[in-house]
Amino acid sequence: MCILMLDASEGIADQDASIAGYLLEAGRAVVVAVNKWDRVDAAERERVRSEFDRKLHFLRFARVHFVSALEATGIGALMKSVNEAHA
């Protein structure tokens, strides 16, 4: 079970896609957490979603959660998905 943590303020980096590829090849259950969602405006959020669809299209099966670790928002739903993926 892996949580792939992405930084919304940085976008989807090539390194993120490489790590995601390793997770897929290893056959791991994956849940995606896009952190720092509270720091980006609506246009940036749309750009991050678009980049995710383009660069990480092979993870469309994974549940994606937009969270803020600083404000502790979205963490409960993230952990619920982690438990479901682990099961």
What are 28-61's pLDDT values in tens digits?
Answer: 999 999 999 999 999 999 999 999 999 999 999 9
Q: 0.85 exceeded by the pTM?
A: yes
Angle between helix axes 14-25 and 42-55 (nearest 10 degrees) is 40
Specify whether the CB–CB gap between 68 and 36 falls below 8 A. yes
> Does residue 26 register a pLDDT over 90?
yes
Q: How high is the pLDDT of residue 14?
A: 92
Q: How high is the pLDDT of residue 87?
A: 85
The pair of three-digit structure tokens given for residue 87, joined into one six-digit string:
């099961």
